[in-house]
Amino acid sequence: MSAHSEFARIAATDGRAALVTVIAGEGLGSKLLVEADGSTDGGLGDPELDRAGIEAAEELLWAERSETREVGDTTLFVDVVAPAPRLVIFGAVDYAASLARLARAAGWRPFVCDPRSQFATRERFPDAEEVIAAWPEDAFARIGGIDRATYVAVLTHDPKLDDAALSIALRSEAPYVGAMGSRRAQAHRRERLLAAGLDEALLERIAAPIGLDLGAVSPEETALSIMSEVVAVRNGRDGGRLSRSGGRIHEVGA
């Protein structure tokens, strides 16, 4: 199967890959496929171009955007396909239902996890991609592990579940790990995780208390606060008010 055909197959199955094509210069039309696991197929006709194409593809695969790149006198187009990002929500609580609903509306794939099978049901979370009644280690295994497009929100107040989920998520490639709870609860959680051997540098990764400061009260408003922070992190933003921002505003296509 050609690199182009394999890329089309991956795109059709909602996978993640980049197809690098020479669009100007020597080797016009040559193609190199780069998959999420680092495997490649095809080539651009020159080892230096292959290295540059792989480097660009590995960057853009997780930035989830397509771009042209100049390599000497050659122009490469890096075409990226990727599935919707995942939001893994621990805790089958009312906040989780609102968050799953909002995540789905925003084009994300929400997963709700909780070992308490009486609460973790499809009826309670109809907007979830999957509802998983399992402890964090098994739940993460069920979704194929944690990659750079997996965001984690811990909404329970059960130390056993919180600590187990955070211990795994903080050691992973997840770009966002948020946890609900008061500042006092966060301080106690920090003490427990340090005592369990988690490195202090990893604890700095926790977004806690979770969400942006919107003054949220209801589950729906709290979900908006959390989802806003998640989207801001994904886009490399701080989540401040646009009226006070000097950078680019909304990314609107032509």
Residues 52 and 95 placed together within one structural domain of the fold: no
Residues 137 and 20 placed together within one structural domain of the fold: no
Residues 226 and 111 placed together within one structural domain of the fold: yes
Identify any residues that bridge with 31 across adjacent strands, giving them in sequence order.
Answer: 21, 43
Of 81, 101, 118, the residue that ends a domain is 81
The Cα–Cα gap between 252 and 241 comes to 18
Residues 130 and 211 placed together within one structural domain of the fold: yes
Apex 168 CA angle, 225 and 159, nearest 5: 70
Question: What is the domain extent for residue 174?
Answer: 86-234
Rounded to two decimals, what is the model's pTM? Answer: 0.86
Identify any residues that bridge with 19 across adjacent strands, giving them in sequence order.
Answer: 33, 79
Apex 110 CA angle, 177 and 58, nearest 5: 65
Q: Residue 152 contacts by C-beta under 8 Å, 6 or more apart in sequence?
A: 87, 88, 90, 146, 165, 169, 174, 176, 177, 178
Task: Confirm if 32 and 42 have CB atoms less than 8 A apart.
Answer: yes
Number of domains, the chain: 2
pLDDT tens string, the chain, 254 residues long: the values are 688 899 999 999 989 999 999 999 989 999 999 999 999 999 999 999 999 999 999 999 998 899 999 999 999 999 999 999 999 999 999 999 999 999 999 999 999 999 999 999 999 999 999 999 999 999 999 999 999 999 999 998 888 899 999 999 999 999 999 999 888 888 999 999 999 888 999 999 999 999 999 999 999 999 999 999 999 999 888 888 777 766 565 554 43
Residues 49 and 109 placed together within one structural domain of the fold: no
Of 24, 53, 81, the residue that ends a domain is 81
Residues 72 and 100 placed together within one structural domain of the fold: no
Residues 57 and 165 placed together within one structural domain of the fold: no
Residues 100 and 222 placed together within one structural domain of the fold: yes
Q: Which of 17, 67, 72 is nearest to 49 (CA)?
A: 72
CATH number at residue 203: 3.40.50.720
Residues 191 and 142 placed together within one structural domain of the fold: yes
Which residue's entry shows tokens 């925003």?
106
Hey, how many other C-beta atoms are within 10 angstroms of the C-beta on 8? 15
Residues 197 and 224 placed together within one structural domain of the fold: yes
Q: Is residue 73 situated within a structural domain?
A: yes
Residues 209 and 91 placed together within one structural domain of the fold: yes
Hey, how many other C-beta atoms are within 10 angstroms of the C-beta on 70? 11
Coil/strand/helix, residue 206: strand
Q: Is residue 15 situated within a structural domain?
A: yes
Apex 157 CA angle, 133 and 91, nearest 5: 25
